[in-house]
C-alpha cells in the first residue's frame, strides 16, 4: 500500500511538477541568447513565477518519494515502474497544456504501460 | 567532414554519457537509501533521525551530483540536437539502469523483468519518434 502511494507521488507529483515548470517556461518564451547574463536574467525571471515554485514543490515531493521507496525496493524495479510518467505526462500535457498527442505517441505509451505491468509482475 | 557527421561526432558521446550518468545517479541513490534502513513502515517521527543519516551519506551526494551532471549534459544536447532524436536514444537508459543495478548493487534480474524493461524501452523509443512540438506553429500535415 505504502509502495503504491509512493509510486503515485513519484509519477503524478513528479510529472505535475514538470508540467508546471513547462507552463512557467512557455510563459517566458523561447530563449535565443545563451550568454551568462541573459541566462541569469532568465533564471531570475522564472523564479518570480508562481507556476515555477509550484513545480519545484511537486518535483521535490516526487524526489523524496523516490528516495523513500529506494530504501526498501530494488532500483531495477523502481526506475522502470516510474516510466509510467510517460503516460501521466501525455494525459497531463493534453489536459493542462493543450498539446495534441498523436496516435503513434499513444501507441508508445501503451507499450510503456505493458512493460511496466511486466516489471510489476517480477516484483519480489 | 560534413556538418551532419560533425554533429554526430559530438552528439553520440554525449548521449552515451547521459545513458550512463542518469542511471548511475539512481543506482547511487539506491545504495545510499539501502544504507539508512527501510522506510517501508516508518512514521513521520522516524524520519527525524533518518534525515541526517541520509544527508551524511556520501553516496547520496554522489548520486545527486551524477543526476545534476546528467541534467546539464541533457540540456546541452538539446541546444543543438532534436528532442525527437535525443529522447528515443535515451530510452536505452532503462537497459543501462537494469545492467548497473545488477553489476553494482547485485540485484538479481529475472528474465521477466528483462522482458518488461525491453518493452518499456521500445515504448519510450516510439514515444520519442513523434513530433516534439504540436502547439506552436500550425501543423503542416
Least confident of A51-65, B39-53, B54-68, B90-104: B39-53
Chain B segment 6-45 residues within 8 A of A by beta carbon are: 23, 26-27, 29-30, 33-34, 36-42
Report pTM.
0.84
Cα distance between residue A80 and residue B112, in whole Å: 13
Domain ranges of chain B: 3-38+48-128
Chain A partners of B115 at a C-beta cutoff of 8 Å?
A: 118
Cα distance between residue A2 and residue B87, in whole Å: 31
- Phi/psi region, residue B37 (left: phi>0; alpha: psi -120 to 50; beta: rest), is left
Complete DSSP assignment for A8-56: HIIIIIHHHHHHHHHHHHHHH-------HHHHHHHHHHHTT-HHHHHHH
Reported ipTM: the value is: 0.82
Chain B partners of A72 at a C-beta cutoff of 8 Å?
A: 38-40
pLDDT tens-digit map of A41-84: 888 888 899 999 999 999 999 999 999 999 999 999 999 999 99
Cell numbers given for B42:
516508518
Amino acid at each position: 500500500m505504502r509502495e503504491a502511494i509512493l509510486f503515485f507521488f513519484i509519477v503524478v507529483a513528479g510529472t505535475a511538477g514538470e508540467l508546471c515548470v513547462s507552463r512557467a517556461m512557455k510563459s517566458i518564451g523561447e530563449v535565443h541568447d545563451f550568454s551568462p547574463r541573459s541566462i541569469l536574467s532568465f533564471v531570475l525571471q522564472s523564479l518570480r513565477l508562481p507556476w515555477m515554485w509550484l513545480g519545484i514543490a511537486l518535483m521535490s515531493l516526487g524526489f523524496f518519494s523516490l528516495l523513500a521507496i529506494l530504501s526498501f525496493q530494488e532500483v531495477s524495479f523502481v526506475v522502470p515502474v516510474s516510466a509510467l510518467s510517460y503516460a501521466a505526462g501525455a494525459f497531463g500535457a493534453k489536459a493542462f497544456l493543450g498539446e495534441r498527442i498523436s496516435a503513434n505517441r499513444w501507441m508508445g505509451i501503451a507499450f510503456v504501460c505493458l512493460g511496466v505491468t511486466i516489471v510489476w509482475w517480477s516484483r519480489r | 567532414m560534413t556538418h551532419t557527421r560533425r554533429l554526430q561526432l559530438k552528439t553520440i558521446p554525449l548521449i552515451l554519457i547521459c545513458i550512463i550518468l542518469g542511471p548511475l545517479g539512481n543506482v547511487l541513490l539506491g545504495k545510499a537509501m539501502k544504507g539508512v534502513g527501510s522506510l517501508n513502515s516508518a512514521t513521520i517521527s522516524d524520519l527525524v533521525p533518518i534525515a541526517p543519516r541520509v544527508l551524511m551519506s556520501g553516496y547520496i551526494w554522489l548520486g545527486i551530483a551524477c543526476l545534476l551532471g546528467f541534467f546539464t549534459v541533457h540540456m546541452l544536447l538539446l541546444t543543438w540536437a532534436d528532442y525527437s532524436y535525443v529522447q528515443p536514444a535515451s530510452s536505452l537508459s532503462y537497459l543501462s539502469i537494469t545492467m548497473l543495478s545488477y553489476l553494482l548493487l547485485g540485484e538479481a534480474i529475472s528474465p521477466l523483468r528483462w522482458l518488461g524493461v525491453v518493452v518499456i524501452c521500445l515504448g519510450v523509443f516510439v514515444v520519442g519518434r513523434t513530433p516534439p512540438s504540436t502547439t506552436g506553429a500550425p501543423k503542416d500535415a
